[in-house]
Structure 1
Amino acid sequence: MARDVDVVTGTVIRRPVDVVAGYAGDPVHAPEWYVNISSVEWRTPPPVAVGSQMDFVAAFLGRRLAYTYEVTEFEPGRRMVMRTADGPFPMETTYTWEPLDDGSTRMTLRNRGRPSGFSRVAGPVMATAMRRDNRKDLARLRELLERA
């Protein structure tokens, strides 16, 4: 039976919430800070809004993945939820941004889904690999934004 994958990672970025959310919440920047994402193309006109769709191409566990994300919830500067509209691994990705007293931002990244096919067999390995990659992604995002 397929086990759900639910991976939550977070970091504190020493930049204001509007800067962090503005950059991380714009899918066009994803290839700059996500380890595995090689390209993002808009299916619907930008900017991000509920109903926006983007095509992503990524590599994960040695496989090329192409999938479409649709924004299902969007609160600018606070939260964005995207779900795959198609692709090999039904996934929901949630970004949350929380302003901290010192002007920094706590960003949390959550990926959840129910693997099927190849992904179902690799489910336990996927969760570990996602957690590792998400930590790298958030560290890269922090590095990019803090030196800006």
Structure 2
Amino acid sequence: MAVDVLTGIVIDRPVEVVAGYSGDPSNAPHWYVNIDSVEWVSDPPVRLGSRVAFVARFLGRRLAYTYEVVEQVPNRRLVMRTAQGPFPMETTYTWEPVGAGATRMTLRNRGEPSGFAAVTAPVMAASMRRATRKDLERLRSVLEAR
């Protein structure tokens, strides 16, 4: 069973600010509740082919995985896929202007767990949805306080 979680939020900051901050993996530990650390495998900044290693906690487990940037449209869309890790995952950020100076950001995580992870996919999806909502709320708090 596939996991596909899409969450969105409106942040009262311009697209350039929201995309610039959230699209920089170095900032992830500041707004993702479950991400403990980020290490660039390739040289920053983010660009097509960039690779970034993450260490996270999810459902009581430590996860280490590496994302590769597979699509980038500045201030519009960023797509990263795991190059290694517990199961194949793709994360997509989208940003679009809303009104005067606000941004609608969506965050989509999808993957195809296998083995035991496939059995727990429904629980995993529900947990991801809750965590992603919290992450986006935290991101909004960080950015709107600037």
Name the TM tier (shorter chain): over 0.9
1:12-23 counterparts in 2 under 5 A? 12-23=10-21
- Give the residue type in structure 2 aligned to 1:107: M
Quote the residue 2:137 is aligned against: 139
Quote the residue 1:116 is aligned against: 114
1:96-115 counterparts in 2 under 5 A? 96-115=94-113
**Alpha-carbon offset, residue 102 of structure 1:** 2.1
Contact in 2 for aligned 1:88/1:116 (Cα 8 Å): no
Q: How far apart, in 1, do the equivalents of 2:85 and 2:23 lie?
A: 21
Quote the residue 2:45 is aligned against: 47
Quote the residue 1:65 is aligned against: 63
**Alpha-carbon offset, residue 120 of structure 1:** 1.4
Instruction: Give 3-state SS (helix, strand or coil) of 1:18's partner.
Output: helix
Post-superposition, which runs of at least 4 consecutive aligned residues in structure 1 deviate over 4 A? none
Aligned residues: 146
Contact in 2 for aligned 1:53/1:70 (Cα 8 Å): yes
Structure 1, gaps ≥5 residues long: none
Q: How far apart, in 1, do the equivalents of 2:116 and 2:23 lie?
A: 30
Structure 2, gaps ≥5 residues long: none
* Percent pairwise identity: 70
TM norm structure 2: 0.98
Instruction: Give 3-state SS (helix, strand or coil) of 1:23's partner.
Output: helix
Quote the residue 1:129 is aligned against: 127
Q: How far apart, in 2, do the equivalents of 1:50 and 1:13 lie?
A: 26
Instruction: Give 3-state SS (helix, strand or coil) of 2:43's partner.
Output: coil
Q: How far apart, in 2, do the equivalents of 1:108 and 1:66 lie?
A: 24
Quote the residue 2:86 is aligned against: 88
**Alpha-carbon offset, residue 117 of structure 1:** 2.7
**Alpha-carbon offset, residue 113 of structure 1:** 0.2
TM norm structure 1: 0.97
